[in-house]
A and B are shown apart, each in its own frame.
Chain A
């Protein structure tokens, strides 16, 4: 039995549809109820929905054998897991954005508002730029508008929210997409089952580009 942690929301549903097509369906997952765990003993899979940012924790701690989460979460928390597949869905990018008139004055410390503190710190450390990180949990775009920060580091999908708030992308840090991850210990003891699932999903993802 493989335990699979899926991220709640649109991405998770899309990924489940791929798993289903790949032959790892679990019909009970589509029933409308408050159940959290769904199992198909015949196919050897058990799914559960968790908050997207918690998927890597479930997998790293072995509560789930495999899981699907965004590269942003993996880059931010650096969990000790295998990253077996790029599902090429949920595609977006991690970027630095600022007000259109922003000029980076290197004489002063750059104030950076973000949910992704480690990504921001690592990125600017590589550039040798001194920063003051302001950790926010939401509405990051508001920070430069109100003068709380000079720039923001956040996920950009279409750029529409930025545009509506007179912000623009200044630099791209990294491309983001959904990744299939596995617990390192589980992989040793369920190698064949995980390999089979990864091969089926990979073939399908390649064929359909999800």
Chain B
């Protein structure tokens, strides 16, 4: 019942162009990116979007490649919505929301070819680097999707992996003293647009998320879209869909600029 009253109130405000936190419809909340705070991880990043906070860490191990891609490294993305982040999160294995989030981010990283997985091959068919990207929500105030995606990207951008070589006997040797950056090809940026009534708003906060009809999340790379996920139990017209994507594309350019400034890539 509360969401219904909230929704009515929010629709009233939106009709006069106001959002609950005073932002414009296409404004992102302030972005904060803090990298390398986890010493034991190969890479890490804490990302804040307004009051939403997520942390991502990258760990590596040497494993065997998948049979259909014998010369490519392995990328695994996992997300946990910890009870520390919200009164509505419960301990236990990832629920459908956490699984969806991890899979959408995984597709974004994979399809943008952010990391040249071929360069993570040590011995074709035998040994490759496995990259484990673990994302943990720490404070949920809406749009965990974009916050987590950015955390994952920032963590990968700042990761340093030990050098691995193959000796004469064909054994894999890891030199932990010599580290190198991951083979980064580009930076994918994920933006979520929410629809409330007939209004489209970027980067929904929790209050907005609770009353929104539908969400469209898109990941962009070089101005092209590489992942889309429509979420929520309502529909969108074709016109609304394309409008969402155009807005997301614009915002992705803006966020990319921020990421490049903070991390100093490119």
A and B interact: no
| Chain B residues near A (Cβ < 8 Å) | none
